[in-house]
Amino acid sequence: MAFPHFSFCIAFWLFTGVGLACCIRRYPVEIAYFLPVCLLLIVWPYNEIRYWTHVFPFALLFFLKGMEWAVEYGGACWGKRAFAVVSGLLCVNMLCNVATVVKAEAPVYTSLNPDIESEDAREVFGYLNLHSSPDDVVACGESRAIYLYTGRLSCNLSGKLDDMQATADWYVEFLFRQTYLQYPHSTFRENRYRFEKVLQNNTFAVYRIVKP
């Protein structure tokens, strides 16, 4: 059975701290980057895992250096075989904790957060790939998904309509998301001279933005 998640965190950051101490002279530039960024993320009000991804390679480096020091020191004190077994079990336990966390944090799709790999979403991406130009800009609340699956530049438009026609060529609406990262549904209904609906399924609607 894996240790609780906090035990994994304590073990990981303990070995990472040891690795930092061992690498002060060897990796001064990496440490000068790693430590301030970690301190910034600790006090940052938005605690999301994606903000940590760019420091994980450095954390892994220092963690492995800490494990290397522990193996050498522990092997000298308690016997290399015994310490290797303990270290191996700890590493396996950490991997089990990571797998448990990843499985527990599997996305739950709702009307507010629909699956961008669903059949409805693939229909939207297919339509844009077929009917839009590679130079077109697609406005959407999930702009990264648009760029990933269509190669079209994308942006989020949810404020005033003033610059909309000059900014984007297409608009993808989430039918059940209301006003989260997009215009209210009434905006499309009341401004039909600006939005030409070209596709709608159970989850999304695609509009061609009419140029003045």
Q: Residue 46 is part of which domain span? A: 5-104
Same domain, 46 and 99: yes
Residues 10, 99 share a domain: yes
Q: Which helix (H) or strand (E) holds 195?
A: strand 195-200
User: What are the pLDDT digits (tens) for 62-88?
Assistant: 988 888 887 777 666 666 666 666 666
Question: Do the Cβ atoms of 140 and 134 come closer than 8 Å?
Answer: no
Q: What share of the chain is helix, strand, coil (3-state, %, to 5)?
A: 55, 10, 30
Q: What is the C-alpha R_g of the chain?
A: 25
This model's pTM is above 0.75: no
Q: What is the mean pLDDT of each run of 10 residues along the chain (212 residues)?
A: 57 85 90 92 78 86 84 67 67 67 66 84 96 95 92 90 87 91 90 94 95 82
Residue 106 identity: A
Task: For residues 134 and 128, give the distance between their C-alpha atoms in angstroms, rounded to a whole number.
Answer: 9
Query: Domain total for the chain?
Result: 2
- Same-domain status, 58 and 124: no
- What is the per-residue pLDDT across 118-153, written as a single tens digit (0 to 9) for each? 999 999 999 999 999 999 999 999 899 999 999 999
- Asked if residue 116 lies in contact with residue 203, where contact means CB atoms within 8 angstroms, the answer is no
Q: Of 63, 80, 104, which residue constitutes the final position of a domain?
A: 104
